[in-house]
Structure formats: C-alpha cells, structure tokens
Amino acid sequence: MAAENLQQQERIPFNKPYMTGNELHYIAQAHGGAHLAGDGTYTRLCHKWLEQTTSTKKALLTHSCTAALEMAALLLDIKPGDEVIMPSYTFVSTANAFVLRGAVPVFVDVRSDTLNLDEKKVEGAITKRTKAIVPVHYAGVGCEMDDLMSIAERYQVGVVEDAAQAIMAKYKGRPLGVIGHLGAYSFHETKNVICGEGGALLVNSSDYMINAEIIREKGTDRSRFFRGEVDKYTWRMVGSSFLPSELTAAFLWAQLEQADGLTSRRLRLWNRYHEMLAELEVRGLLRRPIVPEHCDHNGHLYYVLLAESVDRQRVLSALKEEGIDAVFHYVPLHMSPYGRETGRSHENLGVTENIASRLVRLPLWLDLADDKQDYVVDRLKKVLLKVA
Ligand SMILES: *Cc1c(COP(=O)(O)O)cnc(C)c1O
C-alpha cells in the first residue's frame, strides 16, 4: 500500500493543468458582480486581449474549439455534399464540425517534416464541390499558409485554421489563427492557455463579422441590441448557443494575462527535451520535431518519431513501468470507422500512416521539474537501447 502510494505520487503524468494563481480571484469578482451569463466584463477583456495580441478584427469566446469550428462551418454555409479539405492526422473535431453540416471531409496527406497538411497536395484534391480548406497547426508549428491562401484565392474557397494548439505561435511573424478567413483556438485543459473547456473564434474576414455574432447568440442579433445598435433583438438566422459563461471567461483571463510567460516556460522545457534527445537522433533511434525557420512555435507538445524498427507499444509499456505516461497521437481519421464512412482520401496517405504509427508524445507541463524531465529522457534512452 505504502509502496503503491509512493509510486502513485512519483508517477510523471502526461499533462497537468497549470494555474497562474489568479483564477479564483477573478471568478470571485465575477460572482460578486453577479453577471454570470456570457459576454460580461471578463469576456470583453478576453476579446480585447485576443484582438490586440493577434491584430484580428474580431475574436469571440466559445465554449470549446470544437464550437468555434462548428461556427466556422455555419459561417461558410457548408451544405450536404460540400467537400472540405483537411489532414487525416488531426483531432476528430476538425472533421466533425463540417460533417455535422453534411460535408464530406477530403483527407490529404501531411508533410513528413512538420506533420502538417502537405500544401503541395492540396490543389489536386480540389473539385467543384470544395468549399473550404482546414489546415491544422500541429504542435503549434505553422502550416505553409502563403501557399494555402493562394490556392484558396484561386479557387474561391474558405480557409479555416484549426489553431487549437497554436495560440502565441507565428508563421512569418504573423500569429497563427488570423491568416485564414476564420481561425479557432482551444483553451481545453491540455492546451497552453486554459480554462477547463473553452475556445475562441477569430473572425479575420470582415464578411463574417456580423453573422458570427448572430450565430453565436442563438441566431439572434442580441449582441447588437446590447450595444444599442438595434432597438429590439430577434431571430435572424440559424444559430446556437456557443458562448461560455463569465465564470469560464474569468478563469481564462487569469491565463491570458500571463500568456507570454506561460509560453516561454513551455518553450524552455521543449528546448531541454530537444537538446537532450539529439544524441538518440544521431544514433538513429528516433527523429526529433522539425520546425521551419519561418515558424515560431509555442512549445505546445514534444513528440519523437521512433525508428521504424522500434515497437512503439513496447516503448510505451516500458515507460509506463518506469512511472512515465507517454502517449501516442491520433488514429488517422481516414482509418477510423466513422472517417471511412463519411470521408474520402485524396491519393494515398502514406506519410500520415507512417508517422501516426511511430509518434510518441512525452510529458510536458509547466511545473515539470528539470530532474523529472531528465529522468524521462534517461528512461527513454534506456528503453530504446534495450528494444532497438
Ligand atoms: C484540442 C483540439 C481540438 C478541440 O479543442 P476543444 O477545445 O477540446 O474543442 C480541435 N482540433 C485540434 C487540432 C486540437 O488539438
């Protein structure tokens, strides 16, 4: 029993949500102010912060990134049979938001360096039915947005950035999430800046500014009514309730205020892994992440791609025995039961299938002590030398 407790205490979890210390204080303020529904003082502070930090026209908090993607699908007026191009190597929400509207996800392979949508393969996947391209910035590393935006312009299709993992990251100096027509952030507890469950829609194209507010407020123009722009509010179009309560926004504000510090602390841990694992890369046991020169990432996650000869399941189990929770990522959507049913693959997805079978994410969270991190690296070395 005692030994088990000790082992429990010393386990290194994959993730541990970090609190800045001001969350409960701001929630108490919201409580005292007795405005608990959405769009109060804290929501406004978060909106302003997001708009200023990313220089976008309009940011709207949502109750998740999934919700922000669902809003994007409504804003682009996605209809049954429309096609939406996206990577298969992503979280289900990227596809679900569009499938909810009857769209067909068209899966395109990823680049072997960044594991992001391969922009060179996107144009070949476009048909008369294509309505949108949804790049996903995996691990907070930017997709090749210049290429994607010029393809989108040529074919007159929308671009929705799934920037769930990409807050504070940049592509050629521009924040990710604000380059496409619409962008979506996540504040889920596993992300860099958190509030439990939460997200934001970044409205970067003025075409969508009015409708985005309406869709978020149950299809009504209530937001304009509160600003005194109309004298009553009413049902304008299809919508839903996508806004979070002030309690969530108050929590989030405590995190956004410190987003710079949170990001640099993550980057420090990321860089430590990167340096310490160089040796294993030289030995051919794994490949480390590749970040292009023109991308400033945010240290969202640290992964390694194991050598093809290494049995990943054995590595994960051996690490578990050493008290370390390392995890794989993404069963590719085109291989999932529902992805097969609803989606279509453009050409073969060889890179996706290859990397998805080799990838391991290591524990990375802000209070992870250096000696614990050293221990993870040490055990990974030991395990790899044994199984290789
Ligand atoms: C986390 C994540 C989401 C979903 O975010 P929620 O806020 O949990 O809805 C969507 N896409 C990607 C790529 C993610 O990593």
CATH of the domain at 299: 3.90.1150.10
Asked if 183 and 283 sit in the same domain, the reply is no
Asked if 269 and 376 sit in the same domain, the reply is yes
Evaluate whether residue 344 is within a structural domain.
yes
Interatomic CA distance for residues 82 and 84, integer angstroms: 7
Per-residue model confidence (pLDDT) at position 5 = 45
Q: Residue 60: helix, strand or coil by DSSP?
A: strand
Ligand 1 centre distance from Cα of residue 381 (Å): 31
The preferred substitution site among 91, 189, 191, 330 for testing ligand 1, maximizing ligand atoms within 8 Å of CB, is: 91
Evaluate whether residue 279 is within a structural domain.
yes
Asked if 244 and 282 sit in the same domain, the reply is no
The preferred substitution site among 65, 116, 190 for testing ligand 1, maximizing ligand atoms within 8 Å of CB, is: 65
Whether 64 lines ligand 1, by a CB cut-off of 6 Å, is: yes
Q: Which of 30, 1, 84 is nearest to 253 (CA)?
A: 30
Amino acid letter for position 271? N
Evaluate whether residue 17 is within a structural domain.
no
Asked if 69 and 209 sit in the same domain, the reply is yes
Interatomic CA distance for residues 30 and 85, integer angstroms: 41
Q: Please, what's the b/e burial string for 31-48 (b: 16 or more CB within 10 A of its CB; e: otherwise)?
A: eeeeeeebbbbbbebbbe
Evaluate whether residue 16 is within a structural domain.
no
Asked if 247 and 280 sit in the same domain, the reply is no
Atom of ligand 1 nearest to the CA of 137: 13
Asked if 263 and 252 sit in the same domain, the reply is no
CB 388 within 8 Å of CB 312: no
CB 268 within 8 Å of CB 112: no
Q: Which of 256, 279, 311 is the last residue of a domain?
A: 256
Residue 322 CB partners (closer than 8 Å, separation 6+): 379, 383
Atom of ligand 1 nearest to the CA of 90: 13
| Token pair listed for 74 | 């409504």
N residues, the chain: 388
Evaluate whether residue 15 is within a structural domain.
no
Per-residue model confidence (pLDDT) at position 160 = 98
Whether 186 lines ligand 1, by a CB cut-off of 6 Å, is: yes
Evaluate whether residue 371 is within a structural domain.
yes
pTM of the model: 0.96
Per-residue model confidence (pLDDT) at position 388 = 72
Q: Which of 256, 290, 316 is the last residue of a domain?
A: 256
Ligand 1 centre distance from Cα of residue 362 (Å): 19
Asked if 137 and 62 sit in the same domain, the reply is yes
Asked if 302 and 249 sit in the same domain, the reply is no
Asked if 313 and 228 sit in the same domain, the reply is no
Q: What is the largest CA-CA distance in the chain?
A: 72
Interatomic CA distance for residues 165 and 193, integer angstroms: 9
Q: Which domain holds residue 378?
A: 259-387
CB 270 within 8 Å of CB 255: no
Ligand 1 centre distance from Cα of residue 164 (Å): 5
Per-residue model confidence (pLDDT) at position 10 = 82
Number of domains into which the chain is organized: 2
Asked if 139 and 39 sit in the same domain, the reply is yes
Which residues of the chain have a pLDDT value below 50? 1-6
Asked if 220 and 268 sit in the same domain, the reply is no
Q: Which of 234, 256, 278 is the last residue of a domain?
A: 256
Ligand 1 centre distance from Cα of residue 320 (Å): 25
Amino acid letter for position 102? G
CB 77 within 8 Å of CB 237: no
CB atoms within 10 A of CB 308: 8
Interatomic CA distance for residues 170 and 164, integer angstroms: 13
Atom of ligand 1 nearest to the CA of 188: 7
CB atoms within 10 A of CB 28: 11
Per-residue model confidence (pLDDT) at position 3 = 43
Whether 192 lines ligand 1, by a CB cut-off of 6 Å, is: no
Evaluate whether residue 12 is within a structural domain.
no
Per-residue model confidence (pLDDT) at position 387 = 82
Whether 248 lines ligand 1, by a CB cut-off of 6 Å, is: no
Asked if 228 and 277 sit in the same domain, the reply is no
Residue 84's CATH number: 3.40.640.10
Atom of ligand 1 nearest to the CA of 64: 7
Whether 358 lines ligand 1, by a CB cut-off of 6 Å, is: no
Evaluate whether residue 187 is within a structural domain.
yes
